[in-house]
Amino acid sequence: MSRNPQSPASPSQSSSPLLFPAIPAPLAAAFGVSLPLRCRRYGQQLEDLEIDFQQPLRPQLETELLTACTRDAQGHSLDPEFFWRWGVSDRTAGLLSLVALELGPTLALTVTCPSCQQVMEVAIALDALHQLQSETAQDVATVSLPQQDLQVRRPTGRDQLTWLTQAAQGDPPDLQTMLHSLLVVQPSEESLPNSLPEDLTPVLPALNQALDDLDPLVNFSLAVTCPHCGQPSQPDIDLGAWALRVLQRVQQRLIETVHRLACRYHWTEVEILALPEWRRDRYLALIDREVLA
């Protein structure tokens, strides 16, 4: 599937820390969460150092980041299970909000031209992605088949984790099992999943399209024209993986800050991270001045 927000996008005027995706009110109510959600910059607190970017299951990493940096409208921290219940695109949108607090509201990515293999930069306004997300923020899609209508719900982080865990244990679920788990069973039709056609091949395009439409930030691609060779192309962009790489660099920078301040002042991690960022920066500047002197 293809989505084409404008690129290069005009810089957004928004600087609000409320860039999170729209979360369904029933989900928020189920967890006693008061909306809107707020996010803080990643890479400021001790708990930010405890997040392991090398862990094998990416959904787990995503949930840890979202849990660490999100508070509800009353400033309460949130149950990780709340984030597991988000749609996959919503989780990506949440990570992109964290990146925007770091890099600003226009996301600058690099993609490789499939024609000449040169790297080019593209800019995407976070607002455009959120708009794309909110326009399709429905939880269930209907797929019309000749015999019946099937309703599929958007996969959540929990679904992803289940499938990846099974794959990691050497028992990857087949496509039919995955689709079964996403079918919405009406109370009067409890036998519905069993009525899925044995051979899913004819309905796969329709099911895939329905799932893509529910999760516009998952299979994301962008129409670009290469500045080097002039060829148009539409490369896929893994926005979630890109966001994680940016946040990992933030953590690396924080580790380097702790290292330099600990070497010079012999403070502990806890003491260093208790300092506000502006004071850490002042001390780093002083160390730099000594090195240059």
Shortest distance (Å) from residue 111 CB to Zn ion: 10
**Which residue, 116 or 140, is less far from Zn ion as judged by CB?**
116
According to the binding rule CB under 5 A, does residue 119 interact with Zn ion?
no
Decide if residue 116 touches Zn ion (CB under 5 A).
yes
In DSSP terms, which residues pair with 107 in a beta bridge? Answer: 124
Query: Per CB under 5 A, which region of 113-121, 160-168, 193-201, 273-281 contacts Zn ion?
Result: 113-121
* Closer Cβ to Zn ion, 77 or 115, answer by number: 115
Which is closer to Zn ion, CB of 8 or CB of 32?
8
69 vs 120, which CB is nearer to Zn ion? 120
Contacting residue, 2, 4, 77, 115, with Zn ion by CB under 5 A: 115
Token representation of residue 178: 């995955």
Q: How far apart are CA 16 and CA 4, in angstroms?
A: 24
Q: Which is nearer to Zn ion, 65 or 113 (CB)?
A: 113
Is 11 or 230 the residue whose CB approaches Zn ion more closely? 230
Contacts of 10-13 with CB under 8 Å at 24 or more apart are 10/125, 11/104, 11/105, 11/106, 11/125, 12/105, 12/106, 12/125, 12/126, 12/127
Please give the Cα distance from 27 to 172 (Å, whole number): 29
Of the candidate residues 226, 244, 246, 254, the single one contacting Zn ion (CB under 5 A)? 226
Query: Applying CB under 5 A, which part among 26-34, 36-44, 105-113, 153-161 lies near Zn ion?
Result: 105-113
In the three-class reduction of DSSP (H, G, I as helix; E, B as strand; rest coil), residue 113 is classed as coil
Q: Residue 228 interacts with Zn ion (CB under 5 A)?
A: yes
| Alpha helix segments (H runs only) across the chain | 25-30, 46-49, 58-69, 80-84, 88-103, 126-135, 157-168, 175-182, 204-214, 239-265, 269-274, 277-292
Helix (H, G, I), strand (E, B), or coil: what is residue 246?
Answer: helix
Shortest distance in whole angstroms from residue 120 CB to Zn ion = 7
- Does position 250 interact with Zn ion (CB under 5 A)? The reply is no
Q: Which residues make up the interface to Zn ion (CB under 5 A)?
A: 113, 115-116, 226, 228-229
